[in-house]
Amino acid sequence: MNPQTSQVDDLHLVALPSAVNCAGLFVRFTLSEWSLPTMLDDLMRTVSHRVSAVVEVSDPKAPAFLTVRLRLWGDYLVAEVEDDVRGEVPNGRLPIGVNMAVSPMPRRGNLMRSELPLPAGTTAQGVALPRRDRRRTVVTEQPEAERGLVEPEVLQRVFSSLSQWGRD
């Protein structure tokens, strides 16, 4: 096994009931980007179970924060849910096939970690990752023939006028 991390994606959430659905969307989107649809059911059970447990113990008037992190590492897809709840968050009854380890963090909160084996013959380095370019701009999205139509001086005058317009 090669214990090198190839890719990490994470999402920060407020521990309210909507966090369960948001975490589920994050898992679906990430696995879609990483072309790992066969792992969806197991990962959804793992992440939604832990996020639900944190939401249940969180005070709605002062909700906790949590981070859902997915990592491709060696021969595994690692799911982590980090919370800032004081004390232990009960796991309740784990869904069948869910293996997770929960440990308290040094200052505050808990870290749930679960390692799911990647499909046979797949390693973290072998997963097809999305190609992300630098941040796009209006100028780079214009067709080549229209690029000369946007003049920086004109844009500067427009922005200056807009900023002065709001002061009255």
**What span, in angstroms and rounded, lies between the C-alpha atoms of 126 and 98?**
24
Per-residue pLDDT at 69 exceeds 90:
yes
**DSSP β-ladder status, 110-117 and 76-83:** antiparallel
State the pLDDT at residue 166. 53
CATH number for the segment(s) 5-126: 3.30.565.10
**What span, in angstroms and rounded, lies between the C-alpha atoms of 97 and 90?**
18
CB of 39 closer than 8 Å to CB of 116: yes
pLDDT one-digit tens code per residue, 110-144: 899 998 888 888 777 777 777 656 655 555 555 66
Dihedral angle sign, alpha carbons of residues 154, 155, 159, 160 = negative
Per-residue pLDDT at 81 exceeds 70:
yes
Write out the two tokens for 120. 């046979």
Write out the two tokens for 45. 């059970």
- Give the pLDDT mean for 35-43: 90
Which among 43, 41, 50, 46 has a CA at the least distance from the CA of 15?
Answer: 50
Write out the two tokens for 148. 């000369």
State the pLDDT at residue 2. 47
Per-residue pLDDT at 22 exceeds 90:
yes
- Give the pLDDT mean for 47-68: 92
Domain boundaries, the chain: 5-126
Q: What percent of the chain has pLDDT over 70?
A: 76
- Give the pLDDT mean for 86-115: 78
Read off the pLDDT band of 108 (50, 70, 90): confident
Between CA 85 and CA 93, with CA 88 as vertex, the angle to 5 degrees is: 115
Please give the mean pLDDT across all residues of the chain.
81
**What span, in angstroms and rounded, lies between the C-alpha atoms of 20 and 134?**
31
Read off the pLDDT band of 79 (50, 70, 90): very high
- Give the pLDDT mean for 92-114: 78
CB of 50 closer than 8 Å to CB of 66: no
Cβ-based neighbour number of residue 71 at 10 Å:
19
Predicted TM-score (pTM) of the model is 0.71
